[in-house]
A and B are shown apart, each in its own frame.
Chain A
Amino acid sequence: GAVVSQHPSRVICKSGTSVKIECRSLDFQATTMFWYRQFPKQSLMLMATSNEGSKATYEQGVEKDKFLINHASLTLSTLTVTSAHPEDSSFYICSAHRNYEQYFGPGTRLTVT
């Protein structure tokens, strides 16, 4: 089956610093990946669509300059949270499509202190 990995699974950073989260499709190529944010006991909120070789498409209300997305290859997309603040603390999930199926990474828990 298709596998999507995320690294790191957990990260703690200090306010004002930047943190990068990687999303990889391990056994398939993904021209499109999606980044979601999820608060405890809430739904997944789509942040942006990551397109290989082009700029990401951000959902309304998502700060492009804070959440930098780079889809460098057909198997890797990265989300960088810049100048992180405590309100950026959340669970971040990526997903990739393969043959109309959507495969999710295990998520990254970001805590900003």
Chain B
Amino acid sequence: AQTVTQSQPEMSVQEAETVTLSCTYDTSESDYYLFWYKQPPSRQMILVIRQEAYKQQNATENRFSVNFQKAAKSFSLKISDSQLGDAAMYFCAYRSITNAGKSTFGDGTTLTVKP
């Protein structure tokens, strides 16, 4: 079974600064998807960024980028130029391409953005 570990329960960043959220996972599969989701106080899950394991290039979405290290099974999220609206709980997720497409979520990291 796959596991996803987020070792930082809480993180804080000053507005306009950069912060990196950590995520490691364990799997025996060679192809899979990795995701970062944001859950604001409304609790609606919002996709931040997606990475396909077969792609070596790190995914980027505007101020959000990942550092995907497949051999190390590491998938960190970097948020640049942090904004107050980035404050939320962030979940790292692994999704198998097989196994009915089930997703496994990390325990989450609560990000606080200080003005």
Q: Provided the pairs A91-B43, A101-B47 are in contact, do residues A43 and B107 lie with their beta carbons within 8 angstroms?
A: yes
Across the interface, do A46 and B91 meet the contact criterion of CB distance under 8 Å? Answer: no
Interface residue ranges, B against A (CB under 8 Å): 33, 35, 42-45, 47, 50, 89, 91, 95, 100-108, 110
Indicate with 1 or 0, residue by residue over A78-113, a CB within 8 angstroms of chain B CB atoms.
000000000000010101010011101011000000
Across the interface, do A100 and B102 meet the contact criterion of CB distance under 8 Å? Answer: no
CA distance A95 to B45 in the complex (A): 10
Across the interface, do A43 and B45 meet the contact criterion of CB distance under 8 Å? Answer: no
Give chain B residues whose Cβ lies under 8 Å from the Cβ of A91: 43
Across the interface, do A106 and B44 meet the contact criterion of CB distance under 8 Å? Answer: yes
Interface residue ranges, A against B (CB under 8 Å): 32, 34, 38, 41-44, 46, 49, 57, 91, 93, 95, 97, 100-102, 104, 106-107
CA distance A106 to B106 in the complex (A): 19
Instruction: Report A101 CB to chain B, min CB distance, Å.
Output: 7
Q: Provided the pairs A43-B107, A44-B91, A100-B33 are in contact, do residues A57 and B100 lie with their beta carbons within 8 angstroms?
A: yes
By CB atoms of chain B within 10 A, which of A38, A100, A102 has the most?
Answer: A102
CA distance A49 to B35 in the complex (A): 19
Indicate which residue in A42, A49, A104 contacts B45 across the interface (CB closer than 8 Å). A104
Indicate which residue in B35, B101, B104, B107 contacts A42 across the interface (CB closer than 8 Å). B107
Indicate which residue in B42, B45, B89 contacts A93 across the interface (CB closer than 8 Å). B45
